[in-house]
Structure 1
Amino acid sequence: MSDRSLIEAFVHQSYSRRRAGDIEGIMGDFGANPVFRLAGDEILGALTKEIRGREALRQMVQSLVELWDWSEHGIDTILIEGNRIVVHGKGVVRFLPTGERFTTETLDLLTLVDGKISEFVEFCDTHTVAKAMSSLAA
């Protein structure tokens, strides 16, 4: 996939699936041996550990969909350089176990191979995520 308009359409469709919590659709956007990582401090535990392979990714995606509502978070900017894509997003996310809502921004770095995501690294406000999730530990 090298046509910029096709890549942008793919990214918009993929993020739409994320906002909808569509686990099968999200998984369909990833290749055979995907890598996922939330960049951040180890305070977030397993969330910041690199995830490799489809089964491990499915478990992570399932967990994230059960915990987070991204329906009000959207794409602001997409930058494309070859098979690397940077997506700047912003909006409101909701931590489902408590209902806590907050406005945040994300910056995602995606690598595409054969039209599928092979690597996904997300940079977010890990402090706010940790704070929201701390209520589960209490």
Structure 2
Amino acid sequence: MTHHLKKYSDYGLLPLRIALGAVFIYHGYLKLFTGNFPGGTAGFFASLGIPLPTFFAIIVSLLEFFGGIALLLGLMTRYTSVLLAVNMLVALLLVHLPNGFLVPGGIEFVLTLFAGLLTLALIGAGKYSADDYIL
């Protein structure tokens, strides 16, 4: 039974990677190309008490955009997933946790992203990925 389930795990990893990649590309795009980059994100980070807010605004924006592209392609998936998971953990703890669970700005969306990223970090990109061709 386990053999049959494992046989299809690569098919499950593909839509997970595509969905997560699309979400991060979109959020990174918003930070990089709309509004006041990096000032808007840096100002928000400063309001949270994050040190070096401009530096981290640039890092997070680039990580989300290019990390999303990497996930979409399945390129360096485990490393990218770990970096994005750390990003989501910080967002969860500093921004969303005080709002609660099923409320606007709550933790459910970020927690779901974190869980998906953790899955990819532990399992990898699967057969249908750039990682499979490279590694």
Scaled by the length of structure 2, what TM-score is found?
A: 0.31
Judging by fraction of residues, say which structure has more helix.
2
Compute the TM-score of the two structures, normalised by the length of structure 1.
Answer: 0.30
Which of the two has greater strand per residue? Answer: 1
**RCO greater where, 1 or 2, for CA within 8 Å and sep 6 or more?**
2
**Greater CA radius of gyration, 1 or 2?**
2
